[in-house]
Amino acid sequence: MSEIVKLRSATHFQCHTSTAAYNLKKKKKILICKNTKIYDRYVIEKVVNGGNYGQIYLAVDEKANRKNLILKVVHENYEPELLIMERNILMKLRGKPNIPLLLASGNYKDYVYIGLERLGKNMSEIRNLQKSKVFSPISVVKIAIQAMSALELLHNNGYLHRDVKPENLVIGGSPDSISTIYLIDFGMARKYLDGNGKIRPSRKTVGFRGSMRYVSIELHKRYEHTPQNDIWSLFYSCIELGEGGLPWRSYANEDDILAKKSIIKPQELCSIMPKCFG
C-alpha cells in the first residue's frame, strides 16, 4: 500500500466515539483536567476531542511507561453502554489482528473510560492527501482484505459493527504497524448471536444505525442488521476509496440516496477502477 507507507512520518492519534458529534472549536467543559492522575497511574496530558458528556484524551500510563495512551471517557449518565459495548468487544478480541489493543478500562468518579493504543490516520484522511484523491486498485484490495479479516473476527464472535466506513478504518501508529489496517469504533455494535451461537430473533421495529452514505439498501428500509450489511458498507467504502466518491455523496435526503443506490449500475460505481471491480 504505497499511499499508506508514504505516511510513515505523518501518523497521529485517531480515535472516534459514537456517543456524540464532538467539536472543540465551540467552547466545551473539560471533563478531566490536565495533569489529573487516575488511580495513581494514568496522567491526563490534553483533551484531543470531545463534547460535554464524552471526551478523548492523550494520556501517559506511568506504571507501564507508555506515553501515547488514548483514553475515551463518557459520563455515566450519557449512554455509557456504548463505551461498555466497545470495551466488551475489545476484551473478547484482545490480541487479534486488525483490532485495536485495549490497554485499560474502568470507572473514575462519574465517568466510564477505556484506554486504547494510539493509532494513525483513517482511510478518508489518507485518500484526501493523495494528489489524485484516490487509492490505487491494489491498495483498495489490500485494505479490503484486512478489513474483511477484522469483520470476520467480529462476526464469528457474535457481533455486528453497524458503522463500517473509511473513517473507521485506520492505520497503525508505529512504523511496525503502518501497513496494518485496524477496524475501530464499536460504539454502535450489537450482539446478533445468542449464548448458544444462534441468530437472535429479528425485532419488530428496527431503528437506523450507521452512516447514510455507506449503509445497504436493506438498512434504508429498516430491515434487521445482518453481517451482510457490514460487508455492503465495506463495499461502498472501498468504492469511495478507489473512485474518490460515491454517486450519492452530495445527497442529503435519505429517499434520494436509497433511490440512487437502487438503480445504480456497476459501471457507474466503478468508472475509474478496473472492470473486475464492477
3-state secondary structure of 228: helix
CA distance 272 to 82: 38
CATH of the domain at 225: 1.10.510.10
Q: Which grid cell sits at 4?
A: 499508506
CA distance 38 to 158: 33
Mean pLDDT computed over 187-205: 94
CATH of the domain at 64: 3.30.200.20
pLDDT confidence of residue 273: 78
Residue 2 resides in a domain: no
Total domains, the chain: 2
Active site residues: 163
Same domain, 247 and 131: yes
Domain boundary among 69, 95, 118: 118
Same domain, 55 and 91: yes
Tens digits of residue pLDDT in 140-182? 999 999 999 999 999 999 999 999 999 999 999 999 999 999 9
Residue 4 resides in a domain: no
Same domain, 201 and 234: yes
Residue 162 resides in a domain: yes
> Is pLDDT above 70 for 6?
no
Residue 1 resides in a domain: no
Residue 5 resides in a domain: no
Residue 160 resides in a domain: yes
What pTM was computed for the model?
Answer: 0.88
3-state secondary structure of 111: strand
Closest by CA to 66, choosing from 90, 97, 45, is: 45
> Is pLDDT above 60 for 7?
no
Same domain, 97 and 131: no
Domain boundary among 62, 92, 118: 118
Q: Specify the DSSP class assigned to residue 193.
A: B
Tens digits of residue pLDDT in 59-86? 999 999 999 999 999 999 988 999 999 9
Same domain, 145 and 105: no
> Is pLDDT above 90 for 111?
yes
> Is pLDDT above 70 for 41?
yes
3-state secondary structure of 108: strand
CA distance 65 to 61: 6
Mean pLDDT computed over 34-47: 95
> Is pLDDT above 70 for 16?
no
Same domain, 137 and 32: no
Same domain, 263 and 223: yes
> Is pLDDT above 60 for 11?
no
| Higher pLDDT pick, 50 / 157 | 157
Same domain, 109 and 126: no
Mean pLDDT computed over 13-37: 59
> Is pLDDT above 80 for 12?
no
Of 11-20, 52-61, 192-201, 262-271, the one with minimum mean pLDDT is 11-20
pLDDT confidence of residue 60: 97
Same domain, 176 and 250: yes
Q: Which grid cell sits at 17?
A: 466515539
Domain boundary among 85, 100, 118: 118
Same domain, 125 and 255: yes
Q: Which grid cell sits at 122?
A: 483513517
Same domain, 84 and 124: no
Range of the domain at 249: 120-277
pLDDT confidence of residue 13: 35
pLDDT confidence bin for 18, thresholds 50/70/90: very low
pLDDT confidence of residue 268: 87
> Is pLDDT above 90 for 21?
no
Same domain, 80 and 147: no
Residue 176 resides in a domain: yes
pLDDT confidence of residue 26: 52
